[in-house]
Amino acid sequence: METFLCHKTNVADTFAEAFPVVGTRILITADSNYWAEQAGREVTGHATSVIACDVEASIERALAESESPDGRPGVSVLMFAFDRKSLQKAIVNRVGQNVLTCPTTACYNGITDYDPEKAISLGGQLRFFGDGFQSSKKLGDRRFWRIPVMDGEFLCDEQVGTCKGVGGGNLILCGESNSSVLHAAETAVAAIRKLTDIALPFPGGIVRSGSKVGSKYSGLKASTNEAYCPTLTSRVETELPEGTNSVLEIVMDGLSYKAITQGMQAGINAAAVCDGLTLITAGNYGGKLGPHLFHLRELVGV
């Protein structure tokens, strides 16, 4: 394996392989930061990987009152799926079950300059919960639905925009110990979260159970990636350098190719200055999984 040096860490001369997805952004507001965050957490639950989830999603960032659609505290949430039909089903179910139900919330479209032909009906579907008592208001070309609920009204955009996104950007951090790799991963996640247009769907933005496509067991879509499991180095053809005892992965989805590029750059540079790493690499399937290839050497500029 050829490597190059970034700061004080060896980086594999390889690439991360990503695939096309459809993405959207919703803005959730509430009377307080607490309730906006509660709704954001609930609506992004069980949304780590399309291997077994309907979407991949995460809170993108908190919204200040000055940038919120209604002048209240809020959160920006990103969601991704393979196609618009799947994304619409998931977002209607999730907003209906986790935002509409949350005290004081409202939900708005967060994608600007979108093609109306590729929009998703959100309030246009959720309005039926109003059982005929719902009402609408149009401001310019934008329609909102007001759905009566027990603490007042739930206000929601009739539709939300979508865009072509990129799923599966990734970094794999290898190190001498659990503590050193976790610290590097946390540092990288903190740097990535300073950016916009990126979702880190796994718990805390970090994956311990990196997977490969397929399994020895029929019907299983994915299984443990044994080449990156430190406890199996004596039993399999490993990808891990000597002295590696822990591995963690960071997976990211973005609203654009540029967003993933910036996220991976930020992650590499942040992790590479940390102590105890033996290698920074990335997962790919030789270019067979998706058309988006992010070469680590090019990202670092070496």
CATH number of 3-18+167-300: 3.30.70.520
CA 130-134-139 angle, 5° bins: 140
Give me the tens of pLDDT residue by residue for the chain, a chain 302 residues long: 899 999 999 999 999 999 999 999 999 999 999 999 999 999 999 999 999 999 999 999 999 999 999 999 999 999 999 999 999 999 999 999 999 999 999 999 999 989 999 999 999 999 999 999 999 999 988 999 999 999 999 999 999 999 999 999 999 999 999 999 999 999 999 999 999 999 999 999 999 999 998 999 998 999 999 999 999 999 999 999 999 999 999 999 999 999 999 999 999 999 999 999 999 999 988 777 789 999 999 999 86
Residue boundaries of the structural domains of the chain: 3-18+167-300, 21-163
CA 189-57-122 angle, 5° bins: 145
37 HSE (CA, 13 A, CB side): 6
DSSP 86: H
Alpha carbons 63 and 101: distance in angstroms, whole number: 20
Contact 165, 252 (CB under 8 A): no
> What tokens were used for 101?
């139900």
pLDDT at 288: 73
pLDDT at 302: 67
Topology alike, domains 3-18+167-300 and 21-163 = yes
pLDDT at 287: 76
Alpha carbons 210 and 223: distance in angstroms, whole number: 8
Q: What is the 3-state secondary structure (H, E, C) of 87-140?
A: HHHHHHHHHHHHCCCCCCCEEEECCCCCCHHHCEECHHHHHHHHCCCCEEEEEC
pLDDT at 207: 98
Phi/psi of residue 92, nearest 5 degrees: -65, -45
User: Would you say the C-alpha torsion 36, 141, 196, 126 has a positive or negative sign?
Assistant: positive
**CA-closest candidate to residue 282, choices 235, 253, 248:** 248
Give the domain 21-163 fold.
Answer: Alpha-Beta Plaits (3.30.70)
